[in-house]
Amino acid sequence: MKVFIKITACLLLLAGFGLIMSFALKNHPATKIKPKPKRFLLTENKAGKRVDISIDGQPFTSYIYPDNLKKPVLYPLRTAQGTFITRGWPLQPRPGERVDHPHHVGLWFNYGDVNGHDFWNNSTDIDPGHRGPFGTIVHQQVTKIMSGDKTGQLEVRSNWQKPDGTVLLQENTRFVFSASTTTRQIDRITTLTAQQEAVLFKDNKEGLIALRLARELEHPSTKPEIFTDASGKPTLVPQMSTAGITGLYRSSAGKEGDAVWGTRAKWVNLLGKIGDEPVSLVIMDHPDNIGYPAYWHARGYGLFGANNLGYQAMSNGKEVLNFKLQAGKSVTFRHRIYIQGGSILSDDQVNAAYNQFAK
């Protein structure tokens, strides 16, 4: 009996020791299993006034709101291969870029006439031809960040302010980032709420969602222009080479090139090539938006935008909207930016992608 008790005690001691060792090994730094990083990683940097978005460990874009901008923007935008599709100037100039329109930075959302205030043209280097008064969109808060394997999501709140600080509109925006091996996609869902007074969006050509393109995606042009040199310094160039300048707009309505401007379409596909990489960059307008299908503020020099509110200005006076929000009321706009790298999308392919978005 005593022998049995001793054997049992030894077995219990060995079992206890085994459990202790197993626990210690599992929690030892050398053997602890690290969680797999999310495909879509969003990292907030409050001091730097930015949220960086990476996909599969590679940078895609950043939501930035530095003091030297008059609105928050996504900047820069890249293809899945890492090719820049947005202009670098004025924040990070690249050789051979145009230096016009300092308010054209990355991808933005604003409007040219909100209760008489110009939110589009405002910058720290205002063209003398623009008299204002100017409005400013001031970032208030990052309200949600979600990194994930299927999508990444960012929600932010901003105020559309008069020069005296009075808030005309509160903006709540949700960005949804998604991707495949060759595509990058941004859904921007923006809700604007009028505050203490009714807000009139007077028909204006300058709006609503837009981006400024890399030089290679512009339409070829040989007119005299001012471009950056290798050091980023603005230089007057009597005639710029069109080598490597490959952009061509094509709309869902069948319009091409400069003929897209001032016409309506549910999407516009910008075709081009940057270096050795073919690129399709598509902006899509959702059927639920006010003013659908949008008018297109698409210029050959590299401004690419969809304008849901600029009827009179963009129809040569044939249509009028002058959209108005009463105090306390809201309106929501939804657009998709679809970036295909490595190949050019056909109309059928864009329509298939658009139909998924429209659902």
- Tell me the whole-structure pTM to 2 decimals: 0.88
78, 247, 252, 264, 356 from 349: Cα distances, Å: 21, 19, 11, 20, 11
pLDDT grade for 234, boundaries at 50, 70 and 90 = confident
pLDDT for the residue 237? 65
Residue 145, class by beta-carbon neighbours within 10 Å (0-12 exposed, 13-18 middle, 19+ buried)?
A: middle
What pLDDT does residue 9 have? 47
Q: What is the distance between the alpha carbons of residues 310 and 323, in angstroms, rounded to a whole number? A: 9
| Contact partners, residue 125, CB within 8 Å, separation at least 6 | 90, 102
273, 246 contact by CB (below 8 A): yes
pLDDT at residue 10 tops 70: no
Mean pLDDT across 156-183: 98
pLDDT in tens, 56-86: 999 999 999 999 999 999 999 999 999 999 9
* pLDDT at residue number 8: 45
pLDDT of residue 36: 80
- Residues contacting 344, CB < 8 A, separation 6+: 271, 278, 279, 280
Model pLDDT, residue 231: 62
For the segment 259-307, what is each residue's pLDDT rounded down to a tens digit?
999 999 999 999 999 999 999 999 999 999 999 999 999 999 999 999 9
Three-class SS state of 137 = strand
Q: Is 115 left (phi over 0), alpha (psi -120 to 50) or beta?
A: left
pLDDT reported for residue 340 = 98
Share of the chain above pLDDT 90, in %: 79
pLDDT score of 319: 97
